[in-house]
Amino acid sequence: MNPSNKYTPRNRMQREKTTLSNHSDSGKDPVRVYCRLRPLKDNKESTCIKLLSPSVLSLTTPMESKGSRKEVHYKFKHIFTSYSGQREIFDHVAYPLIEDLLKGKNALLFTYGVTGSGKTFTLTGDENNPGIMPRCIDTIFNSIGDNQAPKYVIKSDKMNGFEIQSETEAYRDRMQEDRAALKTPKTPRRVNSSDKINYANDNLKILLLNETNLYSVFVSYIEIYNNTVFDLLDESSGKSLQSKILREDFNKNMYVNGVVEVEVKTAQEAFNIFFTGQRRKRMGDTILNAESSRSHSIFNIRIVQLEQQTLNYDGQPMIPEGNHMQISQISLVDLAGSERTNRTQTTGARLREASAINNSLMSLRNCLEILRENQMKKSNRLVPYRDTRLTQLFKNYFEGEGSVQMIICANPSIEDFEENLQVMKFGEMTQDVKIAKSEAKYTPIHKRTIEKNTVTPKTASKPKNATFTLLPEVPAMKFNFENIEDCGIQIDKLVRILKLRKNKSVNVNRESEIKIKEFRNRLLEMDKDFVLNKTEIKSLRTIIQKEKHKSINLQTKVVDLETVNDSLAHKCGELEDVVRSLQNKISEKDRKINQNCLEKEKHKHRLAQQSEKTQELDMKLKKQRDYLNAAMKAKDYKLKKVKEVLESDLIPPIDITEIQKEPNVYSHKLVQQAEKENQTPHKSRSTVATSTPSHRRRSRSAGEVWLEHNSIKPVPLGTVLQPSMKKRKSVTKLSKATDITNPKQSKYCLIAQDQDTDGEVETKVYKADILPTCGGGAQVVFNDVERLRQESPTK
């Protein structure tokens, strides 16, 4: 919220100074803006509006809204609470407008507010609580009474003006209306209870009315729907309404071309016309309002006055030539309520209607803001009246063709806070707009042939008070004394006229005395009121002086407090910066502490995992060592036995199938067989070949042929040392006896791979001699084992 909108004594004085400096012209009046608060639907419902004085209210930000809570003050001409009745609003707002209307001045009154805030009820009301419109009509007809011109004597010229018809033409139009009513009788129609209402009449009158004038009352009813003008009283197009256009008359005043203006003679007739148009007005149902106006409705009341009223010989009013006509108008505007689509949740046609309503209201606000800026800053910006039909139609009022008044209707519920905020700002801004004072204008009657005939007895209307009528004139007579009879007749005629004058003069004197007494009483009452007002003014002046001193003291205190507040705000800002920096440091340290805690937890978790892994590895290593130690003991035992077998004299015969299956198993079997032979006595040693170291050295001679038995495909170790066999035959499987018994072969080697005690892969080459046997076979005698392995020199 703009802080400049807040109503404070300092801002108020500044506004008054600018208003006095910019609008010192006494020929202008400000737009009077009133505010009316609607009663809450439920007593438990919370409100956001608080009344501070009869002209000042405060708007408080609800607790649920984001941001700081603020209180904004707004000032209006007068604020009507929820307990204010329709009569009070009419007396304050509309009664002065009706006084000006009967004096020939124009007026515009419109209600503004969100949907469901009570605008339509303020204008129309109900049967027991009539609104502004029915009270205006009742007051007009109560005031003019019988001082009405005969029907159809004053007739609209269809160009925003009026013309006078002769008595003969008016009588002919009345007869045509009666015949048309007889020819086309209205069919009975089911009438709703809300169509026709007999409003309660308070019998209010306008005092000091010019009773020598003749009055005619005309009404029209239009609406602006989706920025298009429609005539609600035009029944020529049937049920569907035809759009109308706006034009300017010869006085540059805007009017609706071809609008139907109906002359009414009674208040009930005007009400019937109003409800005829009300049935054709566009209404809709929304979430916020069951009967929401979807258009701007404008009810116009025009009064035509004929001055210089004269009476004919029968005491009845007649219209002389060379008369002047006075036209005045009051427009009662029921603006459609502004809506927020997120609250009403409108879609489709309702959404387009809401968009048109909001656009027209925004255009009205824009025009008033530019008009206010032009008046305050003495600028000359173009006011965009032509943006919408609403502002274009009201252009003449804002340019000085009449007084303008507004009633801001507000629902004090806390749910309507945002909408009320915008409405209050618009209403307060509108008060700064100045409108030139309107004056009564006289229009000469159109030159037409006016017959000075008396009005037909059926339609003749007598004046309400024919008190100051002229006495019968005394005719000029010449007496011829020669003819006594003629003289007697003339004398008798003169006596009758004199008696009539005497009788009338008595009545006139009696009525004049009554009027004099009434006038004297009124003067005395006015004098009393003057004295009372004078004393009251003196007391009020003293009170005003005291209030001025108080206001000056308060202004100085406010200035001092503002300076203190500024310094405190500056210190508070500095402290807030310090607090903010300290908070940043604390948050940074907290972040580092949390990060360190996380790293410690991760480190503990890693250590726990590593300890578990080390324990598992230790267990595995222990098992592996045990296994390798057992394997080494077994191998040492095997080697010991093989050594014993090799050193023994008996060598077991070679089984080729066992060699093919597994050489290691075969060597173990050799050991077992050697143990058995050591235990049993030797039968014969002639067939057993011995293995001696000298035999191993002979196996390296150059003419030896090797049988290389690769039972597995060894893994290459990448060593430099490799078995040296110049002549060899390689086999992977010993499938037949000839592989061993070949006489060319004298050496046998078996290649195997295994892990050592340290877990390294080593290649073993088992070497043997092939010795022939007596039976023509061959015997393999293992005599050596070579190991190929790699070790680190720093191990």
Condensed to tens digits (0 to 9), the pLDDT of residues 349-391 reads 667 777 778 888 888 999 999 998 888 888 888 999 988 999 9
- What is the pTM (predicted TM-score) of this model? 0.54
- 85 with 121: CB under 8 angstroms? no
Read off the pLDDT band of 34 (50, 70, 90): very high
Residue 131: partners with Cβ closer than 8 Å, 6 or more residues away: 86, 90, 121, 122, 123, 124, 125
Best-predicted range by mean pLDDT (19-28, 374-383, 489-498, 579-588): 579-588
Helices 9-22, 484-647: crossing angle, 10 deg rounding: 130
Query: Token pair of 492, please?
Result: 């008798």
- 747 with 770: CB under 8 angstroms? yes
* Model pLDDT, residue 12: 42
DSSP string, 533-579: HHHHHHHHHHHHHHHHHHHHHHHHHHHHHHHHHHHHHHHHHHHHHHH
Q: Where are the domains of the chain?
A: 1-84+407-437, 85-402+440-444, 471-647, 651-715+723-788
**Which of 781, 722, 779, 771 is CA-nearest to residue 751?**
722
Element (H, E) at 244: strand 243-244
Residue 116 marked ligand-binding? yes
Kindly state which CATH superfamily the domain 651-715+723-788 is placed in: Kinesin-like protein Kif23, Arf6-interacting domain (2.60.40.4330)
CB count within 10 Å of CB 113 equals: 27
pLDDT above 70: residue 405:
yes
**Which of 277, 148, 157, 160 is CA-nearest to residue 217?**
148
DSSP string, 707-722: EEEESS-PPP---S--
In residues, how long is the chain?
795
- 404 with 108: CB under 8 angstroms? yes
* Model pLDDT, residue 473: 62
* Model pLDDT, residue 310: 52
Read off the pLDDT band of 521 (50, 70, 90): confident
> With b meaning 16 or more CB within 10 Å and e meaning fewer, what string describes 636-675?
eeeeebbeebbebebbbebebeebbeebbebbeebbebbe
How far is Cα 156 from Cα 163, in angstroms, rounded to an integer?
A: 6
- The type of residue at 58 is S
* Model pLDDT, residue 745: 85
Query: Token pair of 428, please?
Result: 């307060």
pLDDT above 50: residue 24:
no
Instruction: Tell me the HSE value of 655 on the side-chain side, using a 13 A CA sphere.
Output: 13
Evaluated on CA atoms 116, 117, 123, 128, the torsion sign reads positive
Q: Which residue has the higher pLDDT, 21 or 82?
A: 82
How far is Cα 299 from Cα 219, in angstroms, rounded to an integer?
A: 7
Residue 737: partners with Cβ closer than 8 Å, 6 or more residues away: 656, 777
**Rounded percentage of the chain residues whose pLDDT exceeds 70:** 75
Element (H, E) at 662: none
**Looking at the DSSP assignment, which residues form a beta bridge with residue 420?**
none
712-767 confidence digits (pLDDT tens) = 777 777 778 777 788 888 888 877 777 788 888 888 888 888 877 777 788 888 89
- 55 with 75: CB under 8 angstroms? yes
Topology (CATH level 3) of domain 85-402+440-444: Kinesin (3.40.850)
- 501 with 474: CB under 8 angstroms? yes
Give the residue ranges of DSSP H helices in 32-189.
86-89, 95-102, 119-123, 132-144, 167-183
Strands 442-444 and 162-164: unpaired
Residue 118 marked ligand-binding? yes
Strands 107-113 and 78-80: unpaired
315: left (phi over 0), alpha (psi -120 to 50) or beta: left
Instruction: Tell me the HSE value of 411 on the side-chain side, using a 13 A CA sphere.
Output: 22
* Model pLDDT, residue 29: 84
pLDDT above 70: residue 157:
yes
**Looking at the DSSP assignment, which residues form a beta bridge with residue 681?**
none
Three-point CA angle 430, 432, 433, nearest 5°: 70
**Helix, coil or strand: residue 18:** helix
Mean model confidence pLDDT for the chain: 78
Instruction: Tell me the HSE value of 594 on the side-chain side, using a 13 A CA sphere.
Output: 6
681-713 confidence digits (pLDDT tens) = 433 333 333 333 434 444 444 468 888 888 677
How far is Cα 643 from Cα 779, in angstroms, rounded to an integer?
A: 18
Gyration radius of the chain's alpha carbons: 62
Place of tokens 């037409």: 448
**Helix, coil or strand: residue 150:** coil
**Rounded percentage of the chain residues whose pLDDT exceeds 90:** 24
**Helix, coil or strand: residue 97:** helix
* Model pLDDT, residue 289: 53
219-256 confidence digits (pLDDT tens) = 999 999 888 899 999 888 777 788 899 988 888 888 99
How far is Cα 477 from Cα 260, in angstroms, rounded to an integer?
A: 56
Residue 262 marked ligand-binding? no
Q: From the centroid of its chain, how far is CA 37?
A: 23
DSSP 742: -
586-603 confidence digits (pLDDT tens) = 999 999 999 999 999 999
**Helix, coil or strand: residue 342:** helix
* Model pLDDT, residue 342: 53
How far is Cα 596 from Cα 227, in angstroms, rounded to an integer?
A: 70
Q: How many helices (H) and strands (E) does the chain have?
A: 17, 29
* Model pLDDT, residue 235: 84
Let me know if 716 is exposed, middle or buried by CB neighbors in 10 A (0-12, 13-18, 19+). Answer: exposed
653-682 confidence digits (pLDDT tens) = 444 445 444 555 554 454 454 445 444 443
How far is Cα 370 from Cα 383, in angstroms, rounded to an integer?
A: 6
Read off the pLDDT band of 111 (50, 70, 90): very high
**Helix, coil or strand: residue 532:** helix
- 358 with 492: CB under 8 angstroms? no
Residue 120 marked ligand-binding? yes
Residue 54: partners with Cβ closer than 8 Å, 6 or more residues away: 78, 79
How far is Cα 144 from Cα 29, in angstroms, rounded to an integer?
A: 28
**Helix, coil or strand: residue 63:** coil
286-312 confidence digits (pLDDT tens) = 655 556 677 899 999 999 998 755 554
578: left (phi over 0), alpha (psi -120 to 50) or beta: alpha
Query: Token pair of 500, please?
Result: 């009539």
pLDDT above 90: residue 459:
no
622-645 confidence digits (pLDDT tens) = 998 999 999 899 888 888 888 787
CB count within 10 Å of CB 753 equals: 14
